[in-house]
Amino acid sequence: MEGTTILEILRNANANGLGMAFISILFYLFIYNGIIYLKNKEVYYLYYSLYVLVNALVFSKYQTNVFFENNELYAHLMLWLTYPLFFFSFVFFGLFILTILKFKERQPQFYRLYINYYLIPAITVFLLLFIASVIHTKVFLILRIYYAYIFIPITVLISLNGIRLIIQMKDPIKTPLVLGLASVLMATLILVIHSMLTGYDINKNQYIFYLGMLLENMFFTYAISIRQYQVYKERTQIQKKYIGQLIELQNIKDVHEKQLEEELLKKEKSLLESQKLAEAARVTVLKERFNNEISTLKLETLRSQMNPHFIFNALNSIKAYLISSNKIKSIFYLNKFSKLIRIILENSRKDTISLEEELHIIQLYLQMENMRFEEKIEIAITTDPDIPIHTITVPPLITQPIIENAIWHGLAHIEGPKKMEIHIFKEKDSYYISIKDNGIGRTLSKKTNHYKKESLGLAITQERLHYFNKKNEVHYTIRIVDLINSANEPIGTEVRIQLSSVASTTQS
């Protein structure tokens, strides 16, 4: 080895082990990125892993002084697989760039053009020609012509347009991606020009391409690490926002409960003092007034039980989306949830709201619940003509526990279509809210572990209506109808809330 220069060592890379060292790096990147893909399911890891694997197989063909050099089976396979490996190297490279830069969201028109009118037809034609060449070896020449004179030129044109779009993007990973691509292109250009000027065989100068590929993979690995940090940062921000919401809601609940307790103690103390000073007639009047105020406070107490119950269930849904790494759904659900919470808090100090407001709240609530069921519930909310829903008053969120029971103790346990119908109508002198589902019915629901929770929610609703009737001198009732078919089998449940036919304005 005396007198051997570094340049001579590099020129003999395919024979002295340097080429195999480069291939080993590619195999390491293949295994590493493949494992990360299996862990977090980000598809660009898979495409990059397959890209480096294909390149490793391509370069193994040029290695000498290795154990598989004289293997006839290996030589025969590489004779047939050289062009397919080159072809799929371009395919996996393109898919890697498209997915890591989110072309589907940022450049949907280019993405559809690339996939539907370039990639799928190109793969289809190539595979058909390859299969035909295996059957008839003469077709192999057509395959080579297709690859060199059709596929490569079209790929270059589309790639140039893609590079133009990448340069226009505002994404920190575009720079290392462009530098990586430029490294390979420059290495290829230098390899061809140097070989032409010096007269050396391209295989002797292949170390130039190895260095270009090494730089490319360094830049690509750096781009992937930037994307990993961005994903981590996004998840951390969502978690912080979620924790902040939890703390805020808990503080609101604590303050509200404390205010209710203080008001109740003040009313009790006022009554005791009044009883000592007032005459019998006045005591009777005060008792009536006290009972009315107690009804109001009990209504507020019951309402305070319902709001945190609903809020807790909604937060559990957000938590489930975060755990499943579904960022888009968790952010969309959180926006819906924030809007609904704002409406609930605005109505938290009201004794009554209009039926129109109640239906708006329930519509938002059903949209959120339906997301948890992947939009599998068919929801219909209808109102008969001439129903004054803007003047009919109801206790806030009076229908929410009933709808929640229908979903989680009825619809959740059936296979096939799930239907929820809410209908407002008038019959004789009363208005009705009909809540109908095609779930398993109460008979089967009683056999589940969740029936006690269902009964508790309905009991609180009935108790709220009792005190609401007492305070407002109306007659609102709940009736449950078990729906059955001709074979006496349960086909769902209908809950009817009967409202007073006297319409009144909303009270604060």
Reported pTM: 0.50
Q: Which residues of the chain have pLDDT under 50?
A: 1, 290, 295, 297, 299, 302, 305-306, 502-508
- Residue 257's pLDDT is what? 80
The CA–CA distances, whole Å, from 54 to 81, 86, 87, 494 equal 10, 8, 10, 61
**Cα-trace Rg, the chain:** 36
∠ CA(41), CA(45), CA(46), 5° rounding?
80
Closest CA to 333 of 342, 320, 351: 320
The answer to whether 102 touches 165, Cβ cutoff 8 Å, is no
SS3 per-residue string spanning 426-445: EECCEEEEEEEECCCHHHHH
Q: In this predicted model, what pLDDT tens digit does every residue of 341-386 receive, in sequence order?
A: 788 777 767 888 999 999 999 998 898 888 878 888 999 999 999 8
Long-range contact pairs involving 162-168 (C-beta distance under 8 Å, separation at least 24): 162/94, 162/97, 162/110, 162/114, 165/103, 165/107, 165/110, 166/97, 166/101
Token readout for 245 is 């919401």
- Residue 158's pLDDT is what? 92
- Residue 448's pLDDT is what? 66
Q: In this predicted model, what pLDDT tens digit does every residue of 59-80 receive, in sequence order?
A: 888 777 766 667 777 777 777 8
